[in-house]
């Protein structure tokens, strides 16, 4: 018998229906601890994180697996006890986040921000659109989100280059980014935040991008040097799509709000309709794997080790 802790009744109902042999306990980390919490081996915390700290894990002495529902795990890796296997939510938010990235990019190429301003001004003035056809898009992050972005843009005739931590078939290494950016019409960021990616897109890398290139960040805000990007936007040289910012939430008086050439959304890429159903399927599959003694999917930290992943 595997005991699973889930954050709400909806996910509990989905799990019980899919894996009736699982023992399910409902706890969001903040309510009074329910009976059975001491035998929980698989922990599924709330999405979004809802203020979990290391203290919650002291209530879960038998926990061996942490299955989070977010794509990023940096916050969880900072508080999860050593020895706890950490799995990310790959497949839960990837498609909707990729959709937002592509939507933002196409909105620039089809001048939708400009046309929206004209609509508000009741001004009919056709603008010649740009197009994805023949464009070179560098996608940093060769996981679920990055590969979906690349596949979608390929349908429209764009040439995409996937970039990951290390070179492998179909994926260029991060070390090649400066030369790749020199011919990029767009740079899409879909990487986890860690010490290797923090500040990855700095002033020097932005300077390598051609005029009018679009920077799309659906990763984490600190992957981009905010001040450097803001300077490029204010100068009118680059354009951007940001679903994440640094700082976040963005303060009301931050100059990014008024930056020209920016499509800004408040970290909404992953919370689109349907994520609960996908989360239910992921959790059920992981619990079945645990019950059957099969390897877990989406592992980003087995115990203390870092196995590498497909970033």
What residues are labeled active site?
A: 220, 248, 267
131, 154 Cβ separation under 8 angstroms: no
How far is the CA of 294 from the CAs of 43, 86, 194, 222, in angstroms? 17, 16, 29, 36
Dist CA 163 CA 171 (whole Å)? 5
Dist CA 227 CA 225 (whole Å)? 6
Q: Given the structure tokens 């938010």, which residue do they identify? A: 93
Shortest CA distance to 10 belongs to which of 271, 267, 275, 288?
275
Strands 172-173 and 214-217, how do they pair? unpaired
- What are the residues facing 262 on neighbouring strands? 240
Dist CA 223 CA 194 (whole Å)? 9
Joined together, the tokens standing for residue 157 give 């005739």
- Residues 6+ positions from 113 with CB-CB distance below 8 Å: 107, 261, 263
- φ, ψ for residue 240, nearest 5 deg: -150, 155
Dist CA 287 CA 285 (whole Å)? 5
Dist CA 7 CA 72 (whole Å)? 18
In the 8-state DSSP scheme, what is residue 222?
G
Q: Given the structure tokens 């089809």, which residue do they identify? A: 110
Q: Given the structure tokens 């909404």, which residue do they identify? A: 268
């Amino acid at each position: 018998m595997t005991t699973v802790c889930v954050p709400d009744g909806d996910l509990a109902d989905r799990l019980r229906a899919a894996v009736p042999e699982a023992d399910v306990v409902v706890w969001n980390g903040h309510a009074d601890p329910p009976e059975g919490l001491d035998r929980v081996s698989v922990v599924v915390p709330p999405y979004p994180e809802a203020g979990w700290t290391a203290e919650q894990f002291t209530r879960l002495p038998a926990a061996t697996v942490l299955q989070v529902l977010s794509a990023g795990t940096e916050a969880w890796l900072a508080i999860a006890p050593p020895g706890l296997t950490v799995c990310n939510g790959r497949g839960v938010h990837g498609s909707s986040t990729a959709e937002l990235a592509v939507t933002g990019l196409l909105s620039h190429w089809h001048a939708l921000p400009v046309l929206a301003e004209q609509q508000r001004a009741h001004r009919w003035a056709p603008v010649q659109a740009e197009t994805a056809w023949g464009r070179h898009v560098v996608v940093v992050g060769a996981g679920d989100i990055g590969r979906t972005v690349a596949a979608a843009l390929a349908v429209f005739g764009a040439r995409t280059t996937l970039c990951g931590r290390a070179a492998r078939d179909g994926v260029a290494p991060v070390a090649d980014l400066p030369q790749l950016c020199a011919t990029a019409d767009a740079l899409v960021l879909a990487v986890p935040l860690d010490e290797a990616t923090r500040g990855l897109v700095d002033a020097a890398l932005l300077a390598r991008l051609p005029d009018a290139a679009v920077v799309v960040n659906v990763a984490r805000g600190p992957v981009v040097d905010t001040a450097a990007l803001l300077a490029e936007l204010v100068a009118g040289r680059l354009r951007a799509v940001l679903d994440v910012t640094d700082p976040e939430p963005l303060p009301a008086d931050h100059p990014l709000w008024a930056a020209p050439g920016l499509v800004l959304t408040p970290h909404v890429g992953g919370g689109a309709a349907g994520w609960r159903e996908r989360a239910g399927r992921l959790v059920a599959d992981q619990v079945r794997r645990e019950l059957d003694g099969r390897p877990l999917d989406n592992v980003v930290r087995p115990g203390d080790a870092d196995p590498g992943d497909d970033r």
